[in-house]
Amino acid sequence: MDTSLKNKFDSIIFDLDGTLWDSSANVVLAWQAAKQQVNYIKEDFTQPMIHSITGMTYKAIFETLLPYLTEGQREDFKTIASKKELEILYEKGGELYPGLEETLKHLTKKYKLFIVSNCQSGYIEVFFKISGLEHYFLGHQCYGTKSLPKADNIKDIVNDHNLKAPVYVGDTMGDYNAALKAGVPFIFADYGFGVVEEDQVATISRFKELVDIL
């Protein structure tokens, strides 16, 4: 077991989608329902499609998936899709990764825990409501709050909570790049939706492996 990271950090900041849970199946349901309310979306939304854009901001997501729409149409659909997404996830939730609560319970004895995600406002709150895990986290920040890049939101958490040695855990190159820009070491969760082959300080294949390395 690699113990080189033990006692190196004072806090852990987590990505959400692909790191703590997978809500993509129900996001598909939400966006398909939103599609029925307009007449300008050509394709059906699928889980692989959702996985491909996980970690992007809401604005970038629809620019990537629906480049043929006008800016006005994208903004209109984004509003409809975001509302449907929160409604359906509040009802159906997402799939929590195995060992999530027991691992958080163990980690919170030693580390301050936070979430920083590129999601819309209200999404992290839905995760908390569905999972019942809010009490393990001291704070959270998302793109929807201030429309800031993830790196800036990581910096906000670090500064607001006076963190001296944080580490970020995520599953995409976007997460890695954000952590790098924020000056925070990165742990790659390879069970998620992305690939990172850079200089992460560690790679985990199951969430509960954090107990062993931290």
pLDDT in tens, 98-157: 999 999 999 999 999 999 999 889 999 999 999 999 999 999 999 878 888 999 999 999
Hey, CA dihedral for 62, 66, 72, 78, is it positive or negative?
negative
How many whole angstroms separate alpha carbon 93 and alpha carbon 97?
A: 13
Per-residue pLDDT for 59 more than 90?
Answer: no
Q: CA-to-CA distance for 176 and 62, rounded, in angstroms? A: 22
Give me the residues paired with residue 115 across strands: 14, 140
Report pLDDT digits (tens) over 32-57.
999 999 999 989 999 999 988 887 88
17 with 114, same domain: the answer is yes
Q: Which two tokens stand for residue 191?
A: 């069970």
User: Among 92, 122, 152, which residue terminates a domain?
Assistant: 92
Q: What distances in angstroms separate CA 94 from CA 7, 25, 128, 129, 183, one per listed residue? A: 32, 8, 11, 11, 31
CATH code where residue 42 lies: 1.10.150
Within 13 Å and on the Cβ side, how many CA atoms surround 105? 5
Domain holding 113: CATH number? 3.40.50.1000
Domain boundary among 92, 119, 138: 92
Indicate if 79 and 103 belong to the same structural domain.
no
Other Cβ atoms closer than 10 A to 206: 15
Q: What is the pTM of this model?
A: 0.92
Q: Residue 57: give the domain boundaries.
A: 24-92
Identify whether residues 113 and 143 lie together within a single domain. Answer: yes
Distance of alpha carbon 202 from alpha carbon 27, whole angstroms: 30
Question: Is 4 a domain residue?
Answer: no
The residue among 51, 75, 92 that closes a domain is 92
